[in-house]
Amino acid sequence: MTVIEHQYLQEEELIRRALETLLRVLGPVETTRFLELVRSRPLDSVQRHRAWQDSLDKNAFFQQVFG
């Protein structure tokens, strides 16, 4: 039985290769759009959390959690 050892790329090399691949395959405009998707999604969860907090009855919540 042969064991294959895998070595991970250094983070800087991984980022460089990934960006080169994205630019080559998608082009600069679509690469930028793709990278912006990652940044815009957390805002949705923050907005949902804030809406949940606004509708929260603090006393009822504490009663439910702490009894």
DSSP string, 1-35: -PPPP--PPPHHHHHHHHHHHHHHHHHHHHHHHHH
d(CA 6, CA 9): 10
Q: pTM of the prediction?
A: 0.49
Per-residue pLDDT of the chain (67 residues; tens, 9 = 90+): 788 888 899 999 999 999 999 999 999 999 999 988 866 556 677 888 888 888 888 888 888 888 8
Q: What is the pLDDT of residue 23?
A: 96
Q: What is the pLDDT of residue 32?
A: 92
Q: What is the pLDDT of residue 1?
A: 72
